[in-house]
Amino acid sequence: MQDLWNFALELYARAGVEQACLELQEAGNDVCLLLTGAWLQRRGVRCLDERLQALQALAGPWQREVVTPLRQVRQDWRANAGQDAELAALREQVKKLELQAERILLDRLQALAENWPDEAGDNDWLVRLAEGNSATLQVLRGAVDPP
C-alpha cells in the first residue's frame, strides 16, 4: 500500500489536479481531506459516516489552528514580497512551514485510516468530502479513477 503523502504528491503532479485542488480550497474545501479521501477511494475503502466524521474531527482543528494561519500570512505577504527580497525569503520559509504542516496532517490522517479495510459499498469519498459535485471535483475524480 502506498503511503498517503506519496500518493498525494503523485496525484497532485497529474495534469489539472493542482489547479483543481486550489479551486476546491478557494471554495472552502480541505484539500488534505480530499487527498485522503482520494487515497481511501483508490484503496476501495468504504465511505461510512463515522469514518468521515473521524477524519473531519482530526483535520478540522489542525487546519484552523496551524495550516490556515500559515497560509493566510503567506498570502498576505504576496504583494509586498514582490518588492522586498527579505520579505520574499521569509514568505518562502512560511510556505515551507505550511507544506510541512500539511504533511503532518496527512501523516495523522493516514495513521487514523490506514487499517480501515477494503470492502464493497459506497466508496465515493470525494463527493462526500467536497460538499457537492462540481466540474473541478471531476478533474480530481478523473485523476484518482482514470478511465
Confidence of residue 23 (pLDDT cuts 50, 70, 90): confident
User: What is the C-alpha to C-alpha distance for residues 131 and 139, in angstroms, rounded to an integer?
Assistant: 15
Q: How many domains does the chain have?
A: 1
Does 42 or 100 have the greater pLDDT score?
Answer: 100
Mean pLDDT of 123-132: 81
Residue 74 has pLDDT above 80, yes or no: yes
Residue 130 has pLDDT above 90, yes or no: no
Percentage of residues in the chain having pLDDT higher than 70: 95
Asked whether the whole model's pTM tops 0.85, one would answer yes
Q: What is the mean pLDDT of the chain?
A: 91
Helix segments in the chain, DSSP class H? 4-12, 17-26, 31-43, 49-62, 68-76, 78-81, 85-113, 125-130, 135-144
Q: Indicate the angle between helix axes 49-62 and 85-113, nearest 10 degrees.
A: 150
Query: Domain of 70?
Result: 4-144
